[in-house]
Amino acid sequence: MLNGFLPTDLRRKRTREGLERCRQHLPKWFQALRALEAFGRVERSPYHNVLVMTVEDPIALLEAVERGTEESPALYDAIARVAPAICSFEFRSADEFKKKAKSIVLEWLPRLAGRSFHVRFHRRGPRHELRTPEVERFLDDALLEALQQAGTPGRLSFSDPDAVIAIDTIDDRAGISLWAREDLARHRLLRPD
């Protein structure tokens, strides 16, 4: 060896081994970020271990990520949950959030008629006076009342419900989805609870 020169094949071998060792020590969020970049634009949020993506088809993304986790157990370890938003909106106050969220969930009355359900709210960001139990109760009550008035009463269930309405906020952006029991059974990365 002269002045750091290594034959090419040894250099490649050492580089590959070094890269593999480095990959094993990368933070899991970084591993997830790299893997998710194949599916679309990924951004880090200001919150610990939370990544945000914007895609045309959130269900297709969920299925692609699940296939990726089957091929790479390390990716499955790096991604705790995927929360595709079927509907999304921005809001400037807690009242505006409640009004917009209520409007969206009431559109799902036909899918909730006579079924058991609950609302699950994941909030990130201190900007608004949104408290998880209050938001969940507000939307649960709005749905129960509307279902009762429609003559198709539903019921709250936190144990094996027919559906879960999942809401995630990051600062002043919200995403909402309705997942049936079958969706939750089929997609292991949804985990709205």
How many CB atoms within 10 Å of residue 122? 16
Q: What pLDDT does 180 receive? A: 96
**Strand order across the 116-124 sheet:** 87-90, 173-180, 163-170, 116-124, 155-156
Q: What pLDDT does 6 receive? A: 30
CA atoms 12, 18, 66, 30: torsion sign: negative
**Pairing label, strands 51-53, 87-90:** unpaired
Q: What pLDDT does 44 receive? A: 85
How many CB atoms within 10 Å of residue 138? 17
Q: Are 77 and 28 in contact (CB under 8 A)?
A: yes
41: DSSP letter: -
Structure tokens at 145: 């009342």
H-assigned helices in 51-131: 58-71, 73-78, 94-106, 109-112
Residue corresponding to tokens 């750091």: 4
pLDDT tens-digit profile, the chain (193 residues): 333 333 333 334 445 555 455 555 567 767 778 888 888 888 888 888 888 888 888 899 899 989 988 888 878 888 888 899 999 999 999 999 999 999 999 999 999 999 999 999 999 887 678 899 999 999 999 999 999 999 999 999 999 999 999 999 999 999 999 999 999 999 988 888 7
Q: What pLDDT does 9 receive? A: 35
Is residue 10 exposed (0-12), middle (13-18) or buried (19+ Cβ within 10 Å)? exposed
pTM summary value: 0.81
Alpha-carbon distance of 175 to 120, in angstroms, equals: 12
Q: What pLDDT does 20 receive? A: 55
Q: What pLDDT does 15 receive? A: 53
117 phi and psi angles, rounded to 5 deg: -165, 175
